Chain A
Amino acid sequence: MTTPEITGPEDQNPNLRLLEEVAAATAGVSRLEMCIQCGTCGGSCPSSADMDHTPRMLFAMIRAGMREAVLRSNTPWMCVSCYHCVVRCPQDVHIADVMYTLKSMAIQEKLYKDSTAPDFSQTFVDMVENYGRSYEFGLATRHYLKHYPLRLPSMAPMGFGMLSKRRMDITPKRIEGIDQLKTILDRAKQLENGQ
């Protein structure tokens, strides 16, 4: 006796493909489908108190195809990349990398609630794409003026200390091969968009 093959119409609801989509967009093999909902991740997380959903809950929501709620969740943005959950996960889910994927999907679809974190990442990346090196002074000034103007007075002694102890350069460093790097990154962006 052979098992009858189950065939049916294609799923009409694209959200049911969310898990596959997230897994496909993740750098390594995400193993996201292996999650057994044990909650070790949330229990290990130093910033779970500030998260809308624990990682476990977020992964259940991905399975349930709750696309917009997943991408609007602040959970990936609160991830501190400490990898405690990753080494403790009994199923070896690449949790931190899934969080990176969710951030990039949220940026792509502009679904984040608070722009502080996406802006910070984007400003950092803009500096790196233009100079080939990170540029803390430029990053800090741009970021703080936009998002934390009221924090500037309490930050001033620290900023002054960093400058006077020469731990922060006022001018950026540029690598020699910046054109080569830009060419590589432009091509990588095309490839990322499936071109």
Chain B
Amino acid sequence: MSQKYLYYPGCSMESSAKAYNDSLMAIKDSLGLALEEIHDWNCCGATEYVGISTTPAYALISRNLALAYNQSNGMDTVVAPCSACYLNLAKADHYMHERPALGVRVNKALAAGGLNYDPGSLKIRHLLDVIINDIGLEAVQAKVTRPLHGLRVAPYLGCMVPRPDYEKRWSDHEYPDELDRLLKILGAEVIDFPLKTHCCGGHMTQISPSTAFELIRRLIDSADQYKADMMVTLCPMCQMNLDAYQGETNHHFHTNYHMPIMFFTQLIGLAFGKDPKDLGFGKELVDARQALSRIGVEVPEEAPPARKPKRTKKQGLPMPVMPGEEEES
């Protein structure tokens, strides 16, 4: 039996965290997870809009809640895979209730667009919470066909899922064990990662790079000291900062870390025996192939983008190339 949820993907799932999206889509049926995307959802404003103007920021978030409620049809839970989206949606629902004046202002704004949202009408939950607490670890374990034995992973949740946790859904604010338990069920060797909810730097990569690089360095260095093969996360922002900015961080500190950063859904998919290429492997900038080949998983290299070089040979003038003479690029 499938459990049905309203689904708020968030902008990253369509771009930087496409691997998260692909792997979630590949495993959701096996998990018995039915996700109905909120039609025409908009960006949640990340951590930017709330720092500019309160009412517009909360109106932006709440348009999604209003749309979700309109199409809820018996469903009462919105699931978000992205930490920032999850927190923003939860926050709007929570503060519109806690501070009725905010709720009134937001609903006046929504009314201009023909919408309304009564706080408390929907539950806002993170994907991992739903997998652990609704679907359950036994159900996940029952689907494991290729246990990840020998893969040493550092579970990394980042900040905004276990904190501030308005509904007290997580086992701990600073040291929750949900992700650890899930990864153990998949057969992975899970290190007791001390920095599991420390900050990845968030938007500091854009506004104060040296601050961000130090936070990224601490995380990767710790995982590296624990000899983790990879870090496993549940947040597009964390994945982006640790993966895409790992090169710049190495450059900044003259280090040479090579720590692949994967989404937990990708590992679920692997353990379920899904084809790695359907799980978004290869989209990471810090290559995970070496780590995966150690447990016998081969990921084909992603085909380079189709580009026609003007000159096919490094030396000499452009010349017609006969079939069979093409150079390997």
| Residues of chain A at the chain B interface (Cβ within 8 Å) | 25-29, 46-47, 50, 76-78, 80-84, 86-87, 96-97, 99-101, 103-104, 107, 116-117, 120-122, 124-125, 128, 132-134, 136, 143, 148, 151, 154-155, 157-158, 161-162, 164-169, 173, 175-177, 180-181, 183-189, 191-192
Please report the number of residue pairs spanning A and B whose Cβ atoms sit closer than 8 angstroms: 214
A28 x B95 contact (CB < 8 A): yes
Interface centre among A128, A154, A184 (most CB of B within 10 A): A184
Chain A residue at minimal CB-CB distance from B173: A87
A87 x B11 contact (CB < 8 A): no
B63 x A181 contact (CB < 8 A): yes
A165 x B102 contact (CB < 8 A): no
Interface residues of B in 214-264 (CB under 8 A from A): 215, 244-245, 247-248, 251
> With a CB–CB cut-off of 8 A, which chain A residues contact B12?
134
Interface centre among B49, B91, B207 (most CB of A within 10 A): B207
B211 x A47 contact (CB < 8 A): yes
- Provide the bound-state CA to CA distance between A136 and B282, in Å: 21
Given A46-B198, A158-B245, A165-B302, is A184 in contact with B51 using a C-beta cutoff of 8 Å? no
> With a CB–CB cut-off of 8 A, which chain B residues contact A188?
53, 55-56, 58-60, 105-106, 109
- Provide the bound-state CA to CA distance between A135 and B128, in Å: 26
> With a CB–CB cut-off of 8 A, which chain A residues contact B58?
27, 188
5 nearest A-B pairs in the assembled complex, by CB-CB distance: A83-B163, A188-B109, A187-B112, A103-B51, A188-B59
Instruction: Please give the number of chain B residues whose Cβ is less than 8 angstroms from any Cβ of chain A in the complex.
Output: 75
- Provide the bound-state CA to CA distance between A176 and B165, in Å: 32
B14 x A173 contact (CB < 8 A): yes
> With a CB–CB cut-off of 8 A, which chain B residues contact A175?
40-42
Q: State how many angstroms separate the Cβ of B308 from the closest Cβ of chain A.
A: 15
Interface centre among A103, A120, A181, A185 (most CB of B within 10 A): A185
Interface residues of B in 81-135 (CB under 8 A from A): 91, 94-95, 98-99, 102, 105-106, 108-115
A82 x B199 contact (CB < 8 A): yes
Chain B residue at minimal CB-CB distance from A24: B101
A86 x B163 contact (CB < 8 A): yes
Given A128-B49, A132-B42, A185-B60, is A167 in contact with B305 using a C-beta cutoff of 8 Å? no
Given A80-B215, A107-B52, is A154 in contact with B40 using a C-beta cutoff of 8 Å? no
Interface centre among A80, A162, A176 (most CB of B within 10 A): A80
- Provide the bound-state CA to CA distance between A4 and B124, in Å: 50
B42 x A27 contact (CB < 8 A): no
Interface centre among B94, B106, B114, B204 (most CB of A within 10 A): B204
- Provide the bound-state CA to CA distance between A3 and B17, in Å: 63
- Provide the bound-state CA to CA distance between A143 and B208, in Å: 12
Chain A residue at minimal CB-CB distance from B50: A100
Sample of 24 A–B contacts (CB below 8 Å) = A27-B99, A28-B99, A77-B208, A81-B159, A83-B164, A116-B207, A120-B207, A121-B49, A121-B51, A125-B52, A133-B42, A133-B43, A136-B15, A148-B209, A154-B251, A158-B245, A165-B283, A167-B17, A177-B42, A180-B113, A180-B115, A184-B109, A185-B109, A188-B58
Chain B residue at minimal CB-CB distance from A184: B113
- Provide the bound-state CA to CA distance between A47 and B203, in Å: 12
> With a CB–CB cut-off of 8 A, which chain B residues contact A29?
98-99
Interface centre among B17, B53, B94, B108 (most CB of A within 10 A): B53
Given A78-B208, A82-B199, A183-B112, is A128 in contact with B45 using a C-beta cutoff of 8 Å? yes
Q: State how many angstroms separate the Cβ of A106 from the closest Cβ of chain B.
A: 9
B99 x A120 contact (CB < 8 A): no
The secondary-structure label for the interface of chain A is: helix
A28 x B48 contact (CB < 8 A): no
B46 x A134 contact (CB < 8 A): yes
Decide if B320 is an interface residue (CB 8 Å cutoff): no
Decide if B189 is an interface residue (CB 8 Å cutoff): no
Given A28-B95, A124-B48, is A134 in contact with B108 using a C-beta cutoff of 8 Å? no
Q: State how many angstroms separate the Cβ of B328 from the closest Cβ of chain A.
A: 18
The residue from A50, A76, A183, A187 contacting B208, defined by CB atoms under 8 A apart: A50
Given A82-B202, A87-B163, A132-B42, is A104 in contact with B108 using a C-beta cutoff of 8 Å? no
A104 x B285 contact (CB < 8 A): no
> With a CB–CB cut-off of 8 A, which chain B residues contact A176?
40
Decide if B16 is an interface residue (CB 8 Å cutoff): yes
> With a CB–CB cut-off of 8 A, which chain A residues contact B208?
47, 50, 77-78, 116-117
- Provide the bound-state CA to CA distance between A185 and B206, in Å: 25
